[in-house]
Amino acid sequence: MVIARFFNGMSGSAFLSVAGGTVGDIFERHQLAAPMMVYTASPFMGPEIGPLHWVYYVLLMWGGAVAVSIILFVPETYHPVLLRRKAVSRRKQTGDDRWIAPIEKLDKSLVKTVLRSVYRPMLLLVFEPMCLNLCVFSAILLGILYLFFGAFQLVFSTIYGFELWQVGVSFLGLLVGMAIGTASDPIWSRNYGRLTRKRQQAVGREEFEPEWRLPPGE
């Protein structure tokens, strides 16, 4: 179980670093608030909905369905791969082998690619103080947050004498808070749009401040 948890954490760590950027790439800036709230709240609402006896089976089935959907319906967007596909198509159409994409000229093995993906983040941590500080800050916040999830059962069962089903009910407060926060997005979006239009009328061009997403704004 410990070994499986290690690989689970190692593989799932990509979610924290990639998913937010993916959401940002899919939606325009003025549409980003609601999808980002749903993305942020989803991993924290999961423990409140569970625990389920079939939790790992549900995750396995859901992950498999998502993987198949990505393979079938999500288009490739990586520019070098698109160029390679175009070059292959041109070679087939013209019979001219001079159509070669830049990625086809690279002599990279799978091992070299994996090693580069491993040491490049380490270089950023060593030579970019801001990146290091943000990583440490995020690690502390997420560590505290997930420790709360683990401490709920310990505190409520040992100190307050809750039974198993009562411990599960204690998570509902987080679920309700997350749901209310996500559902309130239209209010803050309207306020953000109002402040953006106000600034545009004042200066004659579109400007925005991140603080406008925080109530009460201006």
pLDDT tens-place string over residues 83-121: 999 999 999 999 888 888 888 887 777 788 888 878 888
Task: Return the structure tokens found at 47.
Answer: 């423990």
Domain ranges of the chain: 120-161
**CA distances from residue 18 to 22, 25, 43, 102 in whole angstroms, order as listed:** 6, 11, 14, 25
Residue 176 clears pLDDT 60, i.e. is over it:
yes
Q: What is the pLDDT of residue 68?
A: 93
Task: Return the structure tokens found at 99.
Answer: 């159509």
pLDDT of 16-50, one tens digit each?
777 777 887 778 877 787 888 888 888 777 767 76
How big is the chain by its Cα radius of gyration, in Å?
Answer: 24
Dist CA 15 CA 39 (whole Å)? 11
Residue 218 clears pLDDT 80, i.e. is over it:
no
